[in-house]
Structure formats: C-alpha cells, structure tokens
Amino acid sequence: MTGRAVAVVRAGALTTVQDLGRAGHAHLGVPRSGALDPGAVRLVNRLLGDDEGRAVLETTLTGCAVRPLDAVTVVVGGAPCRVTVDGRAAAWGAPVRVGAGQLLDVGPAERGLRSYVGFAGGVAVAPVLGSRSTDLLSGLGPAPLADGVVLPLGAPTAVRAPADAPPWPGPPDELVLRVRLGPRDGWFTPAALNALATRAWRVSPASNRIGLRTEGPALERAVSGELPSEGMPLGAVQVPPDGRPVVFLADHPTTGGYPVVAVVREDDLARAAQAVPGTVVRFVPRR
C-alpha cells in the first residue's frame, strides 16, 4: 500500500490530531479545542513551508512512532525529545526527510510535556466545524491515536519559504500566569485575593487538555452557595469547592457554575501546555 498517509506504530500515552481550533462555536456548547501550544504548531508548519494552520500530531509525555507510506518531510517541535528514523538520530526542531516505510520515532519529552509532529501537507482527516482538532470533552474530531490507525496527509503547498533555524521557547521552570481579576472575584475574601497574588501553587498530575489543576493553598470564599451556570472563556481560573484554582484550557466546558476569580491572558496559556506536574505556578493579577 502506498499513498500520502502515515501508519501509527506506537500511539503513546495520548496523541491527538490538533490544528489551531474551531473558534466561534461556544454558543453551541462547543469549545475552541486546538493545540495547547499553538505557537509550536505555527512554527512547525513554518519550518515545513506550509500554512500555519495545518493539522499536526500533539503527543503527551511519551511521544509516538509512525511509518509514512510515501516519503515525507517531517518536523518535530514543542517539548524537546529524541527523534530517530529507523533507529538513527535525526534533528529535533528542523525538517527531516523520512522515506517510505521508515520508522519515525518521537521519544519521550525530555523537558516539557507536549511535542508536535508536523508533516508536509498536514494531517488531512475530515474537518468538523472547520477544524481537524480532537476535542476530548465533546468528542468532536478524530479519536485519539491508536496503534495501527492510518492517517491521510494533504498535499504540500509550500506557501512560503521554510523558516531557517528559528528559536524555540523552552518549557517553563516556573509557570507565571498574568491574570485579570473577575468576573467573580467579589465571591472571595480579601485574604484569598491576596493569596492569589502572592502565594505559589504546583501543577497537579490530574491536569489534562480540559484544565490545568493546581495543588496548594485553598482560596477562601466570601459568598456561600453556587452560581447558575454561566459562560466560561478560555483561560478562566475557576475555583471548585476544594478552593484550588483550575485554569481552563483548550477543551474546557463552555459553561460552569463555580466562580471564576480571574482570567489568564491567552498568550500565557501556551506555557501551561508544557508545564509538567510539580511545576510551580504563580498568578500575577493585572487590573
């Protein structure tokens, strides 16, 4: 069998197809989804000379391995990891030519959490609501990868000259998230708001594509009871009954009933995608 496609040999802990997401459908209860580190996706596609919105593979911690059915140019970026082709070392963060039937192995993340595997032409699964992204919350888009699955690839377009050795941002040693207080900061005591601005949390192992959960001090409520469900934006810092903040990421629900004490600036969220469990988290309020 030949063709522009790749066969999955090792799916890894969680590998999904992601592009830049399906914005504009929150009123239907559909979150944006898309890559948790969109800057990495754009850079992978720039290195391939493709449109920056082409779909790629997003791996989680353990990487993945695939065999292209025809020769294809590949870029692996995001979290640094070991890359091999038929067991021989290959470049990370730069274009690599992989021949038909050769095994491209993307190893475990050495720093950070999520690596991105881009193919010239992009992963060409059928789009849903304008995006090829897997949404773990709603179930839209293709299922997470499984061993033996064959993924179609699109035709390379070379819409621009490939980028030449751009800098890759490193995974954070400490996750600093700039936030704007509200809309429900009035539901928390002054001591809780002071804690939000001055204390540190750590990334919980229970974090996922839906939300970054934290471990650390509980934020004290000034108002008891719960809210009627209201809209939840990307980056909302929701505080459940245990008082530990949860930062909503790409696959977050579009409504919720726990109070949102603050909202993270969207351009800070890519760093959350690469923050491994145990990473220190600090919130910096901006009014």
Q: Are residues 10 and 139 in the same domain?
A: yes
Confidence of residue 1 (pLDDT cuts 50, 70, 90): very low
Instruction: CATH number of the domain at 270, please.
Output: 2.40.100.10
| d(C-alpha 9, C-alpha 5), whole Å | 13
Read off the tokens for 188. Answer: 């928390």
Domain that holds residue 11: 5-152
> What is the per-residue pLDDT across 87-138, written as a single tens digit (0 to 9) for each?
999 999 999 999 999 999 999 999 999 999 999 999 999 999 999 999 999 9
> What is the per-residue pLDDT across 253-286, written as a single tens digit (0 to 9) for each?
999 999 999 999 999 999 999 999 999 999 999 8
Read off the tokens for 12. Answer: 């890894």
Whether residue 164 is contained in a domain is answered as no
Domain boundary among 120, 152, 184: 152
What's the total number of domains in the chain? 2
Q: Are residues 22 and 140 in the same domain?
A: yes
Q: Are residues 106 and 215 in the same domain?
A: no
> What is the per-residue pLDDT across 212-259, written as a single tens digit (0 to 9) for each?
999 999 999 999 888 899 999 999 999 999 999 999 999 999 999 999
Q: Are residues 133 and 14 in the same domain?
A: yes
Q: Are residues 117 and 203 in the same domain?
A: no
Q: Which residues contact 224 (CB under 8 A, 6 or more apart)?
A: none
Mean pLDDT for the chain overall: 94
Instruction: Tell me which amino acid residue 192 is.
Output: A
Whether residue 169 is contained in a domain is answered as no
Q: Are residues 106 and 232 in the same domain?
A: no
Whether residue 158 is contained in a domain is answered as no
Residue 98 β-bridge partners: 72
User: Which one has a higher pLDDT value, 186 or 1?
Assistant: 186
Q: Are residues 11 and 145 in the same domain?
A: yes
Q: Are residues 144 and 264 in the same domain?
A: no
Whether residue 96 is contained in a domain is answered as yes
pTM for the whole structure: 0.93
Q: Are residues 147 and 215 in the same domain?
A: no
What is the CA angle 190-194-197, rounded to 5? 145
